[in-house]
Amino acid sequence: MAAGRAGRADRGAGVECCIMKLDELYAELTLKTDAKLALVVLDGLGDLAVRERDYLTPLEAAVTPNLDALAKDAAQGRMIPVAPGITPGSGPGHLALFGYDPLEYAVGRGVIEALGLGLELRAGDVAARANFCTLDAQGIVTDRRAGRIETAVCEKLCALLASKITRVGDAEVIIKAGKGHRFVVVFRGPGLEGPLTDADPHREGQPIPVVQPVNAKAAKAKKAAKLVAEFYKAALPLLAKKRPANGFLMRGLAHQPEIPSFAARYQLRPACLAVYPMYKGLAQLVGMAKIEGPQTIAEQFTRYLEEYEHYDFFFIHYKYTDMHGEDGNFEAKKRAIEEFDAALPILLRQRPDVLAITGDHSTPCPIKGHSWHPQPVLLTSAWSGADKLERFTETGANLGSLGLFEAKHLLRLMQANARMFDKFGA
């Protein structure tokens, strides 16, 4: 790795490091190298050992010879996604993995999803992540995902809504289908802003809540909330006779915040290999290049090989561990981990200098949703040290040398393993 200094400030004798912000210190210490880094995220990887499953998690029950081979020479640990006891959404979970404090950089899921679908947001646009659902005759949500309808069905329903509703009030309405039951709605007009509360009860057996401004005194947010209510009033009758998708939920209603670019922050050329729009949107939000096309993890790893010389940092996302965790399907989550492991040798044909494999949060099958439990992480490089553990599992990670740390520090540990930091102090 050829070393050369990048973006260093002059460290005068009078600089008081004790009052320096940590990010400023990292920037001061950063060295430009030729290292290649890869962050591979199995969404919702972490799980719980319970009596009913012989105290095995899906990761522990899975047959993973390739992860096992990495484990012996790697360092392991567990990561707190946000703060102890806080259950993260995918946005905060991934921003933390990218090294951005999720408590400092709050991003609505609608913004992320809209960017991931290729929409260009303007100042004042309010975006919502939406998905079709099933409602009973009283308007109660009976299935939050409408049986996970196919993408083609979602596209037809979105086309219907888009053809009938182009404006509400003085705002333009932009509707774009995503994958499966998911889609995006953008409200574009004067005097709008977020964030708004969700039009989603987050569980079956409840009606769709009416959105409200998070800040009750924000006039622009009040106007946006009124437009959302008008949109529901126009859209629900159009879906009333559709089955199973006769309703829809909206969450993450917000406008795009300002976030420092990944390239400037880390002195790395970053790229994203993800299938689902939301994760592409998260990557785009911090300035990663989106590599389009691959649809399976094997295809993603193959494309990584093809793009290896063009980028310094690769974010590779795998969705299905989270999806099956949310369904509470232990066996399917186990199989998804095994499918990932079977494809892993493709990536290892061109092994990066630093490789981290982890989740953005835990999605335990017993909970059927995201949780606050720390997710396992494996980190391997020429300098990571070997924990000499036989497998990559939650139990093994508890014994690893990385210990328990906040996910926002992972990127800095990866940089350290890439020898990207000068020594601090005399």
Residue 283 is part of a domain; what is its CATH number?
Answer: 3.40.720.10
Longest dimension (CA), the chain: 73
The last residue of one of the domains, among 213, 234, 254, is 254
Separation between Cα atoms, residue 233 and residue 34, nearest integer Å: 56
Separation between Cα atoms, residue 284 and residue 111, nearest integer Å: 11
Residue of 321, 364, 314, 362 lying closest to 340 (CA atoms): 321
Helices (H) and strands (E) counted in the chain, each on its own, are: 14, 16
246 and 264 together in one domain:
no
Q: What is the 3-state secondary structure (H, E, C) of 44-104?
A: CEECCCCHHHCCCCHHHHCCCHHHHHHHCCCEEEEEECCCCCCCCCHHHHHHHHCCCCCCC
In a domain, 346, yes or no: yes
Residue 232, number of CB atoms within 10 A of its CB: 18
pLDDT in tens, 7-22: 444 444 333 344 358 9
Distance of CA 344 to the CA centre of its chain: 21
pLDDT value, residue 71:
96
In a domain, 27, yes or no: no
Q: Which CATH number do you get for residue 212?
A: 3.30.70
Q: Decide: helix, strand or coil at residue 182.
A: strand
Task: Name the residue type at position 262.
Answer: F
- Here the tokens at position 239 are 């879906």
pLDDT value, residue 108:
79
pLDDT value, residue 115:
83
129 and 241 together in one domain:
yes
149 and 237 together in one domain:
yes
Rg (alpha carbons) of the chain, rounded to whole number: 22
Domain that holds residue 178: 110-254
pLDDT value, residue 112:
81
141 and 181 together in one domain:
yes
The last residue of one of the domains, among 254, 271, 288, is 254
228 and 170 together in one domain:
yes
Domain total of the chain: 2
In a domain, 15, yes or no: no
Q: CB-hemisphere CA count at 13 Å for 269?
A: 11
90 and 146 together in one domain:
no
In a domain, 422, yes or no: no
Cβ distance 154 to 178 under 8 Å?
yes
DSSP string computed for 410-423 = HHHHHHHHTT-BPP
135 and 263 together in one domain:
no
> What 8-state DSSP symbol labels residue 208?
P
394 and 268 together in one domain:
yes
pLDDT value, residue 11:
41
In a domain, 80, yes or no: yes
Where is 129: in which H helix or E strand? strand 126-135
Identify whether 195 is preceded by a cis peptide bond (ω within 30 of 0). yes
Residue of 225, 136, 134 lying closest to 181 (CA atoms): 134
In a domain, 1, yes or no: no
pLDDT value, residue 18:
40
Low-confidence ranges of the chain (pLDDT < 50): 1-19
In a domain, 16, yes or no: no
232 and 265 together in one domain:
no
Q: What is the pTM of this model?
A: 0.76
Please report the sign of the dihedral spanned by the C-alpha atoms of residue 147, residue 153, residue 158, residue 164: negative
Buried b (16+ CB within 10 A) or exposed e, 293-311: ebeebbebbbbbeeebeeb
Residue 59, number of CB atoms within 10 A of its CB: 26
197 and 134 together in one domain:
yes
294 φ, ψ (degrees, to nearest 5): -60, 140
163 and 41 together in one domain:
no
The last residue of one of the domains, among 236, 254, 272, is 254
- Here the tokens at position 195 are 């964030």
Task: Name the residue type at position 155.
Answer: E
In a domain, 129, yes or no: yes
394 and 376 together in one domain:
yes
Separation between Cα atoms, residue 197 and residue 208, nearest integer Å: 12
